[in-house]
Amino acid sequence: MTDFDATRALFHLPEGVTYLDGNSLGPLPRAAAARMAQVQAEWGEMLITGWNKAGWMVQPARLGDRIGALIGAAPGTTVVGDTLSIKVYQALASALDLRPDRRVILSDTGNFPTDLYMAEGLIRTLGQGHDLRLVAPEAVAGAITDEVAVLMLTEVDYRTGRRHDMADLVARAHAAGALVVWDLAHSAGAFEVDAGAADFAVGCTYKYLNGGPGAPAFITVNPVHAEAALPALSGWLGHAAPFAFDLGYRPGTGIQRMRVGTPPVLQMAALDAALDVFDGVDLGALRTRSVALSERFIAGVEAACPALTLASPRDAGQRGSQVSFRHPDGYAIMQALIARGVIGDFRAPDILRFGITPLYIGEADIDRAVTVLAEIMDTAEWDDPAFRVRAAVT
């Protein structure tokens, strides 16, 4: 049994704040400060010898394995580094390279734009006439034809929280001879995942994994492709012998070749501490509690705020770990909520998002969020010009 009061105590949560935005940026794990101070001391005392002595250079693989354990990936198949946009590019490039006779990348209109932008850039760079085909999320299964080289999907829609049946889609893609790049940005650390089914899986570590702003992303390559996948971003740390300083590139063994350049050592220290929180956490229990808290939130908001419309699937089986509502004045409503210490976020054009993260939120947080939201709606407290001023990050 996972003790969620115990996991909550492992986070710093500001006084008076109800935090429902862990789907976008997880809170600070209390142990992160000491871990970062330790790495700072290593840097201070060891200087460049820290790469060997303090094991900085092996952290990308070590942390990769820790994440792998949370997403159903075998040891030695996951590595951390760079940002998710970069990892999407890498995965897609390698996947396309493994299907040279096909030209279609299939994705959906619910995908996070950077994944699509990176695909567009890759297509331009390759100059081989690839086609990024976008269909509605409900139409993906029917659009998997034998033209498709790669099915590139984000499991959970960042706006609505709608969750794809990835096991089914991966099976369909494989049956059609296509490869799958599975983006776990809103899955890793939120519920159980079997990334072992995909050809490539990628994700970020600052959302449900709580690695902190700027924490590195991860990439998993199915062992079937480990020695065949050629990295498009052929950086020196993915070379078979980085310190031989050969003039030509030779890919390293397996997942090592998905490394690019110097890893973010300070960020990895925070991530390591954040992953400690998951030691002993039963992801099945986490999911059960996420569903219960989500149902409680939906019922509360629907009863108290008739002007808000549920944007997430009503069936918990089709949701990730966030709940979204629509309102034409969603931005102002969210600013009013934040001003009252209930933090969610807004996604254009009209979505209020609330992350449900049982590692550190419970019934009392859900109930407080519902109460404050209902007050703001009842009194039209949100209808203030100050709440309509758009910030750079929404």
Ligand X SMILES: *Cc1c(COP(=O)(O)O)cnc(C)c1O
Residues making contact with ligand X (CB under 6 A): 83-85, 112, 114-115, 154, 158, 183, 185-186, 204, 217
Q: Is 87 a catalytic residue?
A: no
| CB 292, CB 361: distance < 8 Å | no
Q: Is 5 a catalytic residue?
A: no
SS3 250: coil
| CB 93, CB 65: distance < 8 Å | no
Catalytic one of 21, 183, 199, 345: 183
Q: Output 188 or 333, the one with its CB closest to ligand X.
A: 188
Least distance from ligand X to the Cβ atom of residue 318, Å = 18
Lay out the sheet containing 200-203: strands in order across. Answer: 78-80, 218-221, 200-203, 179-183, 148-154, 104-108, 131-135
| CB 357, CB 283: distance < 8 Å | no
Q: Output 169 or 217, the one with its CB closest to ligand X.
A: 217
Catalytic one of 207, 257, 259, 340: 207
The number of angstroms, rounded, from the C-alpha of 317 to the middle of its chain's C-alpha atoms is 19
Least distance from ligand X to the Cβ atom of residue 154, Å = 4
Q: Output 40 or 394, the one with its CB closest to ligand X.
A: 394
Catalytic one of 11, 19, 112, 208: 112
Least distance from ligand X to the Cβ atom of residue 370, Å = 26
Q: Output 203 or 238, the one with its CB closest to ligand X.
A: 203
Least distance from ligand X to the Cβ atom of residue 357, Å = 15
| CB 346, CB 391: distance < 8 Å | no
Catalytic one of 11, 200, 206, 331: 206
Q: Is 360 a catalytic residue?
A: no
DSSP per residue, 4-42: HHHHHTTEE--TT-EE--TTTS--EETHHHHHHHHHHHH
DSSP per residue, 275-299: HHTTTT--HHHHHHHHHHHHHHHHH
Q: Is 206 a catalytic residue?
A: yes
Least distance from ligand X to the Cβ atom of residue 115, Å = 5
Q: Output 159 or 239, the one with its CB closest to ligand X.
A: 159
**Could you give the residue numbers annotated as active site?**
112, 183, 206-207, 353
